[in-house]
Amino acid sequence: MRRIIAQTRKELTQLLRDRLALALALVLPLALTGLMGTTVSLTVTDIPIVIQDLDQTPLSRRYADAFRTSLTYRVVTLPAATSPERMLGGGRARAAIVIPEHFEREIRRGRPVEAQVLVDATDGNTAQLVRGSAGQVTRAFARQLGGAPTPTVQTATRLWFNPGRESRKFYGPGFLVLGLSIFPTVLAALAMSREGEQQTILQVYVSSISAHEFLLGKILTWMVVGVAQCLLLALLMFTLFGLRFAGDPTPLLVGSALFVFCVVSFGSLVGVAIPNQAAAVQAVALGGFLLSFLLSGLIFPIENIPDGLRWISSLVQARYYVVIVRDAFLQGGGWPAVWWAVLAIGAIGAAFYALAWCTLRRMQVKA
């Protein structure tokens, strides 16, 4: 035990002297999570649209005003003698509402009229949003007109867990996970591969320290750093993102400790296997960052990943941690909701540790 702690102290001293690494450890996670959590969102507001009013009557203008007052849209004026398609093709508008001729006359006569919305579907998600909300605006307008059959079935929608539909409350915790998957991993991998690159690992081999003690000493060091990062990021969640614990925070505490252990073990494994700092960082960038970013449900839902790739995501530790963090800050389901995720992180962490230990032993025998 004493040997483990002594090693941890040595590592931490080494970190404090390396300014680039220290910035990587403390400043960058905060800055990156803050920046990305607030800026990344899929939900577009203020979508620029054009309205082509071929009728030009009071009623058609009232319909156009319904879109103007909607917060989702920003109406861009359609220059004279320009077709709406040109505005869409030029990317100056995302959608165009075309109000047909005789719009008012037909309504007064009680005949149904159909307006048209042309949606630029280049971005499928925004197109879906536009389609949904344009329908809502039109239905509300039709109801206002009266004379229409009042819809018998109405909906009373209640938004749970994030009633303001603030996307930062969803993405903030996601980028906390991303930050924690990158930085402790990179630092651990760098520290480990440095020993290999500078051949100082030979000194370790000839010392009386065992592979377990060596590995645990390294892991403990970066766990200290990782937990510090986690606390800083949690602080960011409370302040910048305005989140609070929605329920029992103990799954988050246990899950975070296990997750940090898991990523640090992964980093050590990479560092042991690749005794070259540049290559090790690249491997972490690919394995740690890209996989956690793509296959963890951070921004894009896992359910949409094709079956052939989706199984990979069950091996990605970040996928489980995302569930735990979101549950702690938004849903508040507590242990009954996330016990399986905590177990999975523990299992993956143990597997990484075992692999790292095996690799280290093998290298030791070879050396």
Partner 1 sequence: MKRFWALALKELRQIRRDRRLMISLIVPPTLQILLFGFALDSNVSHLKLGIVDESQTLESRELIRALTQNSTFTLTGAYPTAGALGQDLGVGRLDVGVIVPHDFTRRQTRGWPIVVQVLLNAANANTAQIAQGYVEGGIDFFNRQHAGGRAAPVGLRTALLYNPGLVNAWFIVTGVFGTLIILNGSLVSAATMIREKERGTVEQLLMTPASALEIVTAKMVPLFVLLMTMVLLVIGVARVVFGVPFRGSPGLLLAACAGCVLAGIGLGTLVSTFARSASQTQLISFFINPPLAMLSGGLTPIEAMPKWVQPLTHLNPIAHFSALARSVLIRGAGLDVVYPNLLALLALAAVFVSISAWRFRRQLA
Considering only residues 58 through 77, tell me which ones interact with partner 1, judged by CB under 8 A: 63
Between 250-273 and 277-284, two packed helices, what is the crossing angle to 10 degrees?
140
Classified as helix, coil or strand, 95 is strand
From residue 291, alpha-carbon distances to 108, 286, 322 in Å are 59, 7, 13
CB distance 72 to 45 below 8 Å: yes
302: number of Cβ within 10 Å: 17
> Does the footprint of partner 1 cover residue 162 (CB under 8 A)?
yes
Question: For partner 1, which is the closer residue by CB, 8 or 33?
Answer: 33
Query: Judged by CB under 8 A, which of 15, 25, 47, 64 binds partner 1?
Result: 47
Q: Letter for the amino acid at 341?
A: A
| Contact yes or no for 60/103 (Cβ under 8 A) | yes
In terms of Cβ atoms closer than 10 Å to its own Cβ (0-12, 13-18, 19+), residue 299 is middle
Contact 51, 96 (CB under 8 A): yes
According to CB under 8 A, which one of 9, 105, 151, 238 is a site residue for partner 1?
Answer: 151
Instruction: Mark the segment that binds partner 1 (CB under 8 A) among 89-97, 220-228, 237-245, 352-360.
Output: 89-97
46 Rama class: left (phi>0) / alpha (psi -120 to 50) / beta = left
H helix or E strand, kind and range, residue 323: helix 317-326
Q: Which stretch binds partner 1 (CB under 8 A): 18-26, 49-57, 202-210, 216-224?
A: 18-26
Q: Which residues of 222-251 are buried (b: 16+ CB within 10 A; e: fewer)?
A: bbbbbbebbebbbebbeeebebeebbbbeb
Residue 176 in the binding site for partner 1 (CB under 8 A): no
| Binding residues among 257-316 for partner 1 as defined by CB under 8 A | 277-278, 281-282, 285-286, 289-290, 294-295, 299-301, 303-306, 309
Regarding 150 and contact with partner 1 (CB under 8 A), the answer is yes
Please identify, using beta-carbon distances, which residue of 2 and 124 lies nearer to partner 1: 124
Which of 61, 138, 232, 240 touches partner 1 (CB under 8 A)? 138
Residue 118 C-beta: closest distance to partner 1, Å: 5
Q: Which stretch binds partner 1 (CB under 8 A): 4-12, 114-122, 249-257, 347-355?
A: 114-122
Q: How is residue 113 written in tokens?
A: 């009229």
# residues contacting partner 1 (CB under 8 A)? 108
Applying CB under 8 A, which part among 81-89, 249-257, 258-266, 359-367 lies near partner 1?
Answer: 81-89
Residue 158 contacts partner 1 per CB under 8 A: yes
| Sole window of 1-9, 123-131, 237-245, 252-260 interacting with partner 1 (rule: CB under 8 A) | 123-131
Q: Is 56 in the site for partner 1 (CB under 8 A)?
A: no
